[in-house]
Amino acid sequence: MINPVGSDELKPLFVYDVNEHEQLMHEAESLPSIVVSSQAAANAVMLGGGYFSPLKGYMNVADAMGAADKMTLTDGSFFPVPIMCLVESTEAIGDAKRIALRDPNVEGNPVLAVMDIENIEEVTDEQMQFMTEKVYRTTDVEHPGVATFNSQGRIALSGPIKVLNFSYFITDFPDTFRTAVEIRNEIKERGWNKVVAFQTRNPMHLAHEELCHMAMERTGADGLVIHMLLGKLKPGDIPAPVRDAAIRKMVELYFPPNSVMVTGYGFDMLYAGPREAVLHAYFRQNMGATHFIIGRDHAGVGDYYGAFDAQTIFDEEVPPGALQIEIFKADHTAWSKKLNKVVMMREAPDHTKDDFILLSGTKVREMLGQGIAPPPEFSRPEVAQILIDYYQSLNK
């Protein structure tokens, strides 16, 4: 089985030992505490689940700047984006060296983790601008990731953490949320050796489904892990429960039994395009995938990134040997009227645009909202029905 990044074994930060967990929960109630941002909370969930292994906690400013600049921390290890705990004020914790981090996304702000503070640093405007520009390739506040990153505060708390719960992800998505530890164990149990991972924050239409079939066939994979983002999205994106239902219906009807795991992870979308693609590959290797599909405008938003920047970054910027996972580079896929099947557009050089069935996201949303299913060459009817029900519920 593929090794986790930078280590022979996964290093999740969740406290699995029952006695230690109970003891820490008890201690946390008497510690100074702070309610962290949603992004910092999501970072804790990912650290807890082993997705960001072998990180031990939140980065200090030097490591965050190194991750942003060259994807390299001060000790020489590889990590593609800053993983920070940025706060607006330290008034609630004073000069405490050990604190409880509280969850902003759950009523009552329960304890998420216990942290040993190594540094409290002021992040300058210049440092924030540098990290923003490097990670997001823009400082435009209209970019949802830029806006979120820069709205958290300018004080960085860094140091190791011990994670005590997985926020709302276990209660809201009990059948879907899985840690990297759990996915790795299930891959082992299924006896899969080659595993393709597919990232999604949207329901999967026919082109996505066929892309997964193509990737499995061409890599000789034993299994597919559809790994959906369950955290915060931008307004207008389809909620996770609806996506989950649509994807499960597609897998049930159109994939062989026991060939697919439908899972999800607790993270807020960055919309960081190429950098987020590298982060996605990083934690897919940690969860045990050997191959990762990256298509057109992966993790992008608006017109901030070139169509294939999320693929070329692996050749041009990721340090050699940093990742073992292989990238399956995909083009836009669509139904060919000439061939009567879904193809990658670059593999049909004799086609013009009119030879494909192409629908914009806006057009598809309009159709669904009106109770009209997209053509079967675009979307499976059973999937379309789930989405129609959702969009029509918005109009009631």
Angstrom distance (rounded) from CA 334 to CA 320: 33
* Phi then psi dihedrals of residue 82, to 5 deg: -65, 135
Active site residue 165: no
Could you give the angle at the alpha carbon of 283 between the alpha carbons of 280 and 285, nearest 5°?
105
201 is catalytic: yes
For residue 171, what are the CA distances in angstroms to 163, 168, 189?
A: 17, 5, 25
List residues bridging with 322 in a β-sheet.
none
Among 154, 190, 201, 296, the active-site one is 201
Which residue in the list 109, 119, 202, 248 is annotated as catalytic? 202
Write down how long the chain is.
Answer: 396
Any idea which residues carry the catalytic annotation? 201-202
